[in-house]
Each structure stands twice: as C-alpha cells, then as structure tokens.
Amino acid sequence: MEWIKVKNLEHAGKLVASQIEALVKQKNIVLGLATGSSPIPVYDYLIKSDIDFSNSISINLDEYVGLNQQDPQSYYYFMHQHLFQFKPFKKSYIPDGSNLNAEEVIHEYEEILKQYPIDIQLLGIGRNGHIGFNEPGTPFNSRTHKIALADSTIEANQRFFTNKESVPRFAYTMGLANIMQAKQIFLIACGKSKSPAIKALIEGDITTDLPASILQTHPNVTLYIDDGAASLLNQV
C-alpha cells in the first residue's frame, strides 16, 4: 500500500483524475465510483478534461435503501449532478435504492460485477474505517449486500439531510471482496476527522473492526492523504 501526501482534496482530485485520464486514453475502462465529499474534486477535474467515457462503464459502490433516483440525497442523483450529466458513460450502474427487494438488487449487482471487472476503484473512507458502506464487523469475504448503517455513519452523513431522522438506516453496498477484486484502488482521505481511520489503516492490524484494513493485502492501492488525515501517523 503506497501513500502520497497531498495539499488538500483539490490536489488529490487532480492527481487521481490524471491517472484515470491516462488509462482511458489507452483503453475503454470499467471505473468504480464513490460518493461523499472526498471524490468531488476528482469529478470536477474529469469534467474539465477532454476525457471521453462514452465507451467506458461506471459502477458505483453503494446506495441508500429507500431513496429513488429523483431524491436529491440519493447517490444516483449525486452522480448525475457531479459527473454523469457532463460526462456520460456507455452505461452507469448504481444499486437500485428504490427496490426494497434486497435479494433482487443483490443478484442484479453481482451479475453486473461479474460481467465488468473493475479497472480502477475510487474510494473515500468513513471515520470508522468503512469503505463503500461496509461498516465495522463486515466480513472480508462479503459480496454485495444490504447493511444497517452504523450510528457514527448516520451522524456523519446527516449533514446532507434535514435532520438525523431522515438519514436512511440501510444501504446496499458492494462487499469487501468485490472491492478487493478491482485491479487498482485510489483512496482519498483529507482532514483530521479521518486521522484515526488512516492511522489504523496504515499502521494497524488487518481486522474487520476497521474494514478498510483489508486493503493492506491488495497489490495496487494508493492512498492520497493530507496533513490532517496523516496527523496521527508515526512517520509523516
């Protein structure tokens, strides 16, 4: 696991977007996408570039259960706003949050993931070390599933909603085994609130208490972290 020190999210976005651009120039890719504030600058840079995704596929990590595509808090809406309306892909996949039949959603998503192996997976990280919505305790061999959000995640994400009560309690998410199948992974983390998770990720044990720690065993992961996120590391 390699890590690169960045000035801020904007700097991380520039570096990650240029890596994506370089690969798309060589071939049509399958790009694993993430939501949250961390990847937004990546999308801003991709929008400004002359990159063409019209022959590439995107697959998002997760979606809230119970939100439809028109809901401004849904990840579908987020992706449309921040990327797809400007840079459409040949096909973009996001779990269908409006379908409450979890078995069906999971089956469909697994078929998609089987059909399109991910070249690059973009990740943020939750304060509790979750990736996608794989909360602490999620088994490393997990595949797409429905998960109850941790209290700390509901609290962290309530800033996007009118109040805590309106944050969905469940999400559909790719599992940790799905994420680990990506050929290359870029994880972006900036700010002090991420420092305990980043310390545990870089210096801690591989444990389901910190789901992201499984990334230590992936052959091609790059972390983009700023001073704040790196502030608890032994070696900065």
Catalytic residues: 62, 128, 130, 135
Q: How far is the CB of 171 from ligand GLP (least distance, A)?
A: 7
- Among 36-44, 51-59, 139-147, 204-212, which window interacts with ligand GLP (CB under 6 A)? 36-44
Q: Which residues in 52-115 belong to E strands, given as ranges? A: 57-60, 62-64, 91-93
Cα separations in angstroms, 57 against 3, 88, 147? 27, 9, 25
Q: How far is the CB of 54 from ligand GLP (least distance, A)?
A: 26
User: Residue 36 interacts with ligand GLP (CB under 6 A)?
Assistant: yes
Helices (H), 70-172: 75-79, 102-115, 151-157
Q: Of 62 and 226, which has the nearer Cβ to ligand GLP? A: 62
Q: Which of residues 143-172 bind ligand GLP (CB under 6 A)?
A: 153, 157
SS3 173: strand
Backbone CA torsion sign across 137, 153, 206, 102 = positive
Within 10 Å of residue 182's Cβ, how many Cβ atoms?
23
Give the number of residues in contact with ligand GLP, rule: CB under 6 A. 14
The single residue listed with the structure tokens 């790059």 is: 222
- Among 10-18, 19-27, 33-41, 94-102, which window interacts with ligand GLP (CB under 6 A)? 33-41
x/- track of binding to ligand GLP for residues 45-84 (CB under 6 A): ----------------xx----------------------
What is the arrangement of strands in the sheet containing 91-93, beginning at the earlier edge strand? 2-5, 221-225, 184-189, 120-123, 30-33, 57-60, 91-93
Q: Of 38 and 92, which has the nearer Cβ to ligand GLP? A: 38
Q: Of 30 and 189, which has the nearer Cβ to ligand GLP? A: 189
x/- track of binding to ligand GLP for residues 92-131 (CB under 6 A): --------------------------------xxx-----
Q: How far is the CB of 34 from ligand GLP (least distance, A)?
A: 5
Q: How far is the CB of 131 from ligand GLP (least distance, A)?
A: 7
Q: Where do contacts with ligand GLP occur on this chain (CB under 6 A)?
A: 34-38, 61-62, 124-126, 132-133, 153, 157
